[in-house]
Structure 1
């Protein structure tokens, strides 16, 4: 419980500290978004049968990667007692092997195809493009007035048998049922 509280405080710090983070040398919007992805892994429950036996949580990135080196800070960290692996994907079907899928802006025109490819899999889908949650995605990162926040589509997560922590839902800018 103490670790969960500490992780929640870090997430709140990321949410509230975004303008200061952008002003600091070497930080970027995608460093902050990478931190969000890491924290999402801590506040989402996957069914026991869906996490791989290798003891990793796999973060897949589909499309032209906007993170650059920022995503490397997530690689190898642990969430839910599992090491985080980061993989770059070429096709939506490859995302079926992931636990969290980040859909890049380059794939905006293919949301329906991508979401259909993972619809029967336990994959947390995340993007940072307007309309993603309305298209059936689970979490959409949004930037408003130099602050990063997020929207959550609870119904989409529930269909995938994923449980999003009520603590995380309280921090969302918008929750779509």
Structure 2
């Protein structure tokens, strides 16, 4: 029976790696650059714990800080479960959904399971509204770009 739990942990770690790489290939089009990049996790799943493991890592000159279930103020990135419709306090928040179908009116990126693989879709309209640009390299890797 240990195999299903192990697979779940592996999936959560893989999704956290996707989040890290998506963020690494994102650019916030606002003036100034804070020293800290805040990822807010609100998935109510093992993905939250896997995202916490990203804390302290760096993307460029910014150190990652991860907050779990603490509201949406001050989030650069918000990772939520597919059944939630969060309203971040800052419009310049990259919203990543775990398990939703785009467009959902909220999320810019969706992590999706396709067979035994994890893929991602991008809603470029939601990305643009947030004032964020994604690299063309990242967009080429997406399963679907809307």
Q: What's the TM-score once normalised by structure 2's chain length? A: 0.84
Match of residue 102 from structure 1: 79
Match of residue 80 from structure 1: 60
Please tell me whether residue 159 in structure 1 is matched to residue 129 in structure 2: yes
Please tell me whether residue 139 in structure 1 is matched to residue 109 in structure 2: yes
Shift of 1:68: 5.3
Shift of 1:41: 1.4
* 4+ long deviations beyond 6 Å: none
Aligned pairs for 1:1-177 (under 5 A) are 28-49=10-31, 51-52=33-34, 55-67=35-47, 69-90=49-70, 94-105=71-82, 108=83, 110-111=84-85, 114=86, 117-118=87-88, 121-176=91-146
Shift of 1:104: 2.2
Higher helix share: 1
Shift of 1:44: 0.4
Shift of 1:125: 0.2
Stretches of structure 1 that go unaligned for 5 or more consecutive residues are: 1-21
**Cα deviations across residues 41-86 of structure 1 (Å, max 9, x unaligned)?**
110001243753xx11000012414325422431110012111000
Q: What's the TM-score once normalised by structure 1's chain length? A: 0.71
Pair 134,83 (structure 1): closer, same or farther in 2 beyond 3 Å: same
Shift of 1:119: 7.4
Q: Is the 8 A contact 2:109 2:122 kept in 1?
A: yes
Q: Is the 8 A contact 1:47 1:162 kept in 2?
A: yes
CA-based RMSD = 2.4
Stretches of structure 2 that go unaligned for 5 or more consecutive residues are: none
